[in-house]
Structure 1
Amino acid sequence: MTRLLIVDDQVLIRAGLAALATAAPGFEVVGQAATGEEAVHLAGATCPDVILMDIRLPGISGITALECILAWASEPKPKVVMLTVFDLDEYVYAALKAGASGFLLKDTPPERLLAALALIAEGEMLFAPAVTRRLIQTFAHQPTTAREQPPALSDLTDRETDVLLLVGQGLTNEQIARSLVVTIATVKTHLNRVMSKLGLASRAQAVVIAYESGLISPGHTCHGYPVS
């Protein structure tokens, strides 16, 4: 059972999401919040597995709430999915760096939203296709000189680097396992080592590192999977 906390300042959206999740098998709504402050408090009080949170909130922002929640939560930390109205909200990149596990547009169909939450609960990351395209475009326009390779990247093994490249392209653990011809458990082991060596808190932050360091760039192809 996935414990879900829903955060949105619009009561109709919040209630609708709660009703949708409550009616679906495998989900338990453990709380609802209308502000970032309430989200931080309820996250600590209810220990949700997944938090579905509007990126724009009154009071402290969704990003600040995200940072507080991940900083104060005990292990295993909750996965946070940010809701946005726009295909690339100006705060999406900041939320990604802060540790968001994924992004969904508010007009995502109910069945896709539930499937996305289930995927996130399993440890995958998720971006709405439109968000992914725009996010990659943002990286594409960054000056190459602005990209610095973290020293810890040199500590990665060749296979760990392969896994980081494929994670950066948005592949799931299952897709990575097929590409590298290894088990999903092996992929998870490599990814955990990558995150530990690079000091990352979420899979999404691995995507940021892959792009910011220049290890991967739009148009790059690794093991047959092009970035597009």
Structure 2
Amino acid sequence: MPISVVIADDQEMVRTGFRMILESRDDIEVLDDVVDGEAALEAVDRLRPDVLLLDIRMPGTDGLEVTRRLTERAAAHPELGHRPRIVIVTTFDLDEYVRATLHGGASGFLLKDASPALLVEAVRAAAVGDSLVSPAITVRLLRELAPATGRGAAARTPAEPLTERERDVVRELARGRTNAEIADRLYVSLSTVKSHLAHVQTKLAVRNRVEIAAWAWESGLATGST
């Protein structure tokens, strides 16, 4: 079964470009493209896509509100059994809402000028429950998300302390490296990296690797200050 996608963006050229890129892949099917947040919510209910490719800045109901509603609805009504994975598309320099969306449950972040290959990778990663944040966004964006002063003061405390190896893995993740790159740098297997990240996710009570990376910057682990 192909990965089903709904695109929500108020710019027609962006929607058209994303559709052309995604539909050129045999394993991805674009079900619809819509112009605003309310239409995105309606399309999710009607079409039940695997992935929602969502512009964060739209007139009316923006991407932040769409993410919040879908996350809250899934938490309140788990019996519904469906919530699309959300990949946020943002223009980094203008986006003051990214922090809230990050903690709201998005599965990935892309700049609107991301390469076609990165767009496809982000959709595929989201569909299997993983996350993709391009290295440029990870380092620049998450550095901005960390408090400018008192770094670490607002970061959550893990339920159990992270092991030294888990800290190594998280540090590399927060610097924008993929699982395969982390495995190469730390001389461990890919399955070992995934296992470490699963343990960290449980200890931090977070939903995905994006939130793990955010915690690393907030706590100072990513900069080596803890």
How many Å apart are 1:136 and its aligned residue? 4.6
Judge conservation of contact 1:88–1:134 (CA < 8 Å) in 2: no
The question of 1:92 aligning with 2:93 is answered no
The question of 1:163 aligning with 2:164 is answered no
Map 1:103-142; keep pairs closer than 5 Å: 103-122=109-128, 123-127=130-134, 129=136, 131-139=137-145, 142=148
Which amino acid in the other structure matches residue 131 of structure 2? E
Structure 2 CA distance for partners of 1:188 and 1:35, relative to 1, 3 Å: same
Structure 2 CA distance for partners of 1:47 and 1:201, relative to 1, 3 Å: farther
How many Å apart are 1:190 and its aligned residue? 2.0
Match of 2:55 in 1: 54
- Post-superposition Cα deviations, 1:160-201, rounded to whole Å, max 9, x if no partner, equal 333222222222111222233332222222212211221111
Judge conservation of contact 2:56–2:90 (CA < 8 Å) in 1: yes
Q: Normalization by structure 1: what TM-score?
A: 0.80
How many Å apart are 1:96 and its aligned residue? 1.8
Q: Normalization by structure 2: what TM-score?
A: 0.80
Aligned partner of residue 86 in structure 2, secondary structure:
strand
How many Å apart are 1:209 and its aligned residue? 0.8
Inter-partner Cα distance in structure 2 for 1:90 and 1:33:
23
What is the aligned counterpart of 1:186 among 174, 192, 197?
192
Which amino acid in the other structure matches residue 42 of structure 1? A
Match of 2:14 in 1: 13
Question: Percent of pairs identical after alignment?
Answer: 36
Structure 2 CA distance for partners of 1:139 and 1:59, relative to 1, 3 Å: closer
How many Å apart are 1:30 and its aligned residue? 2.4
Judge conservation of contact 1:163–1:176 (CA < 8 Å) in 2: yes
Inter-partner Cα distance in structure 1 for 2:73 and 2:165:
32
Structure 2 CA distance for partners of 1:179 and 1:121, relative to 1, 3 Å: farther
Match of 1:226 in 2: none
How many Å apart are 1:143 and its aligned residue? 0.2
